[in-house]
Structure formats: C-alpha cells, structure tokens
Chains A and B, each alone.
Chain A
Amino acid sequence: MFAALKAEFRKLFTVRTTYGITGIALFIVVLYSFYIEGIRAGNSAHLATKLASEVPGAIQAVSMLAALVAVLLMTHEYRYNTIMYTLTSARRRTTVLAAKIVTISTFALLFAVVVGSLAPAMAYLGMQIKGLDVAVQQFPWWDLAWQGAFYTWALSMFGLLFAALFRSQVASIVILFFAPGTLEALAGLLLKKNVMYLPFNALNQVLQAGTSVGPDRLSTGHAALLVLMYLVVGWTAAWALFVRRDAN
C-alpha cells in the first residue's frame, strides 16, 4: 500500500495540471476575497460574521477545481494508458483504488485548509488596506473547518468516482460540471421539495451552517450523512467494476 501511495502522490505532483488548476483556484480566492470581499466590502465590514462567511463562500467557489484534479488523476491513466503499469505494479487492484482515494483525500483536505485560511485572511487584509472598521468577529472554527473540509473532500470524491466509473476524461468532466447544477435542477422539477435529498443538493446544505432546518432543508449533519451514503454506494459500484474490467 505504501508503494502505491507513494506512486500516486508522485503522479499527482509531477504534472503541470495539478499546479495550474490549484494556482487558478488560489488566484480566484485571492482576487475575490481581497478585492470584492475586502477592498469593496463596504458596510458588510461591520458584520460580526463577515470573515466567517468568507470560508464557505470560497470553498464553494473553487472546490470544483479540486474535484477536477481528482478526475485528471484517474482519467490520465486511461487516456495515456499508464493504467497498465499501475495495475501490473500492484498485487491487487483494490490497493490501487485505495491509494488513489487516500491521495485525493489528502489533496482535498490540504486544498480546503489553504482556501479556507486564505479567503478570510485576504478579505481582512483588503478591509485593513481600505481602512474599514472591521467588527469584532465571531468565528465558529470547528463548524467552518469540518464543513469546509467535508465539502471539498466529498466533491473531490465525486470527481474521482465519476472518473472511476466512466474512465473517459471528457465524460467525467461533463458529468462533474453538469450533475450539480443542470441535472439536479432538472430532477428538481420532478422531485419538488425532495430535491434536497439529491447528492449535490445535500452537499450544498453541508456548507449552509446557521440556516434554519425546515421541511425543505436538512441539518448539516444529516446532509453530510446523506452525501456519505451516496459516496459509499457509488464507490462500492466503482470498486466492483474497477477490479473486474479490462484495463483500457
């Protein structure tokens, strides 16, 4: 397992796309948080939850890019046929899949920590440079940490899951970008209020801390559990296919 993990980390960090996509994500966070949420904060600087609100906002804005990195880690193997080396180097295919999940989980958590720390820091810096009076801030560390980390991790796991199921780079990226918005919105026309039980809808509810729970809204804990259930079912199917399918 250690050898497979080491190989997966090397795969992740020896291609330009990982750095390019991460760089774009950080650039967006810095630009948006510093300029829009900091320099141009205006009266919102007086809100006690101003900086805390930067975390879910930034996480939601750029976590899709972490998921894109996850898609590429898996689909590059099939696109460039390196999967044959990967599978013949490991004793079991399950080890390979587990190594990819652990690698992307680690990357997603680091990504969430950096984005979640950078966003309020940049907003604060922007407000300070602009000379705005920043209110005394309430910062629910624990909630922000687990919800932000869970959101990025789960979205990355969905990305990796689509890649494991479809193996095609284009198909995986299309599904990743269309499923949360377009597909679930269309499903919402049929499901009405039950749309909150769909995976990406539930995932979005994980980030909406403080919003009151109601008939069309799950608690963050329940939403996270529901997302986990989708991931467990999806990954069970992906694992069953991964260990049996031809490697091409």
Chain B
Amino acid sequence: MIHASHLTKKYRKKVAVDDVSFKIETGKVTGFLGPNGAGKSTTMRLMLGLDSGNGTTTFDGKHLGDYSRPSKVVGILLEAKAFHPTRTARNHLRVLAAAGGIPDSRVDEVLDIVGLKDVAKKRPGKFSLGMSQRLGIAAAILGKPKYLMLDEPANGLDPEGIAWLRQFIKDYASHDNAVFVSSHLLSEMSQMADNLVVIGKGKLIAATDMDSLLSASAHAGVFMRVIGQSKLERILRQKAVTFERSDDGLLINGLKTDELGTLAYEASLPVLELAAKDASLEQAFLELTANSEEYRTHGEEKK
C-alpha cells in the first residue's frame, strides 16, 4: 500500500498542494482526478520526493529512499517526452536499467511489451506523442515495480493504444500491484479505476471507491415509471423526497429501489420500470469540482 500523508507544497504565497492524505491499495487501479492546475502532478512529484515540501509518502511502510533499488518499487511516467532526443530508445532504457540495477535483457522485453521493438534503435526525438508515451510506459515497467504512477498516460495514444493501455493497467494491478493514474479521459477512467482520489485547488475533495463516488452524486438516483405518476409525485412531495421528471418517469433521489417498490405497492401503483441509476463519472466529477476549478472557461463576452 502507498500511504501519502499530509502532503503540502507552497510556492511563496500560493499553496499548490494543501495537506493532502490518501492511500493507494494494492491489487487496484486508483484514478487521480482534478481540474487543470489542481495540483495532481505536484502531488505525484511530492510523493516521489522530486519536489520539496511537507508530508510523507510510504511504500509498504517504507520511504522510497529506504529501498536499495527504488525503481523496482515504483515505476513512473510523469511526462511523455522525458528522454534525450538523440539517444536511441533502447539506449534510453539501458541508461535507466543501469541506474536501477536492472539487467539489460529486460530492456528488450519491455520494448516488445509496448510495441516499440521495431524502433528500438531509432532516436525518439521524432517519435509521435503516442510513441513517446509507449516509451515512457516501457521506462515505468522496466524494474517490474509493485507500484506504477502514471500522469496522463493516455495523452496522444490512438484508440487502439488507449484500449491496450486500459487493459494493460488493469492486468498490471491485478497481479498484486497497484497503479495510480491521472487522466482527463473520464470515460476511460470510469472503465479502469477501482478507487478514485479527487483534488481541487490543491485540496483533497474525495478519496473513495468508484461505486461510492457515483452513488453519492446528486445525479445518482432511482428511475421509476408507474401508472399514475401524478399520485406518486404527490406522495413523494409529502415525504419531502426530491425527484425530477425524466423519460416518462421520475428520477428520484434519496430512496433505494426496495423502498420505492414498497411505497408503490402500498399506494397500489402498478410499477412499469424501477432501476437504480448511477451518475456518470463526468457528472460526479463536475459536481465535486464545481468550485475548485483554477482555470475556468467563460462565455463569449457581450458586446
């Protein structure tokens, strides 16, 4: 388990990360969400000791510096183009392998895994963003680390690459590893993350599992369609239950399906449809970060 505790980073008067604490469980993919400028990358850098600040991060109870081979504990991808443009892809990985005490034979293995074997001897300066991301992923998994920390790994990948990455991350975590991944692709995140950490303006907003986050959203509820909808609406108003009309039925908040089923039975309302509806991750995310956007778009200025 990774335990980040009271992470804080200040730039003069601006607080980039403000007392953020959370845990990353093994065997799971933990998504890291936040609007632009929320402090995601800074948090990751703090966790790795790349930025100076307050707070501690332990990996299975030990600081990264306590391990003799840190790159066998955590693999990182914080920036796609983090390589010398004229050092070949293979040599780039050989340098990292040497630094991590990893045998050179592993270099060819990871190049094969990420699909860059054919361009291993090419200089990565002219790689596309997608190819650069693959090289970054190869670097991250070079030491077969238990933990992966990936910052926007899907940026620049084509649809096939995104699908491959999603499956790869899920598979990697399932082998008693943990993957901590930030992404703005919420649909992708909803498909691969088990847990979520959400920050905004440097502060922790939520650290929970995906199901809890979605079901707690105001957009989550129960969809119900009955014969005699006006009677149902009257009953709900009397019980001070909030609802809204939706697709010939009602989207009801605050009551579970079994409670609504009982209520309809007692009111002699024939039920045509009754289903729990989770919010989408996008709805939940926007709701959580509504007041935490550092950079917000504005409508066209009125003339």
Q: Residues of A with Cβ closer than 8 Å to B?
A: 3-4, 6-7, 10-11, 14-17, 76, 80-82, 84-92, 244-248
Contacts and interface: CB of A to CB of B under 8 A. Distances in A.
Given A85-B139, A247-B45, A4 B99 contact: yes
A85 B82 contact: yes
27 contacts: A7-B99, A10-B94, A10-B98, A11-B87, A11-B95, A15-B86, A15-B87, A80-B81, A80-B85, A81-B78, A82-B82, A82-B83, A84-B48, A84-B76, A84-B79, A85-B76, A85-B82, A88-B50, A88-B71, A88-B76, A89-B71, A89-B96, A90-B99, A91-B66, A91-B67, A91-B68, A247-B51
A3 B98 contact: yes
A184 to B, nearest CB: 33
A4 B84 CA distance: 18
Interface centre among B49, B50, B69 (most CB of A within 10 A): B50
Interface in B41-72: 45, 48-52, 64-71
B65 to A, nearest CB: 5
Nearest to B48: A88
A85 B88 CA distance: 16
A85 B99 contact: yes
Contacts of B254: none
A82 B66 CA distance: 22
Nearest to A76: B84
Contacts of A248: 50-51
Nearest to B139: A85
A245 B50 CA distance: 8
B17 to A, nearest CB: 12
B81 A84 contact: no
B101 interface: yes
Contact of B65 (A16, A91, A247): A91
Nearest to A247: B50
B155 interface: no
Contacts of A6: 98-99
7 closest Cβ contacts across the A-B interface? A7-B99, A89-B99, A7-B98, A14-B91, A6-B98, A81-B82, A247-B50
Contacts of B96: 7, 85, 89
A44 to B, nearest CB: 42
B65 A92 contact: yes
B250 interface: no
A183 to B, nearest CB: 30
A245 B84 CA distance: 22
A14 B97 CA distance: 14
A10 B71 CA distance: 17
Given A88-B50, A89-B100, A90-B99, A80 B71 contact: no
A137 to B, nearest CB: 43
A182 B100 CA distance: 42
Nearest to A246: B51
A121 to B, nearest CB: 32
B272 to A, nearest CB: 57
B214 interface: no
B213 interface: no
Interface string B96-139: 10111100000000000000000000000000000000000001
Contacts of B85: 80
Interface in B175-218: none
Contacts of A10: 91, 94-95, 98
B74 interface: yes
B297 to A, nearest CB: 28
Contacts of B98: 3, 6-7, 10
Nearest to B75: A88
Nearest to B78: A84
A4 B51 CA distance: 20
Nearest to A91: B65
B303 to A, nearest CB: 42
B50 A84 contact: yes
A90 B82 contact: no
Contacts of B79: 81, 84
A3 B99 contact: yes
A17 B84 CA distance: 11
Contact of A87 (B50, B69, B83, B101): B50
B63 to A, nearest CB: 10
Contacts of B65: 91-92
Contacts of B91: 10, 14
A76 B87 CA distance: 11
A204 to B, nearest CB: 33
A10 B98 CA distance: 8
Contacts of A245: 52
A10 B104 CA distance: 12
Interface string B228-240: 0000000000000
Given A88-B76, A89-B71, A90-B70, A246 B99 contact: no
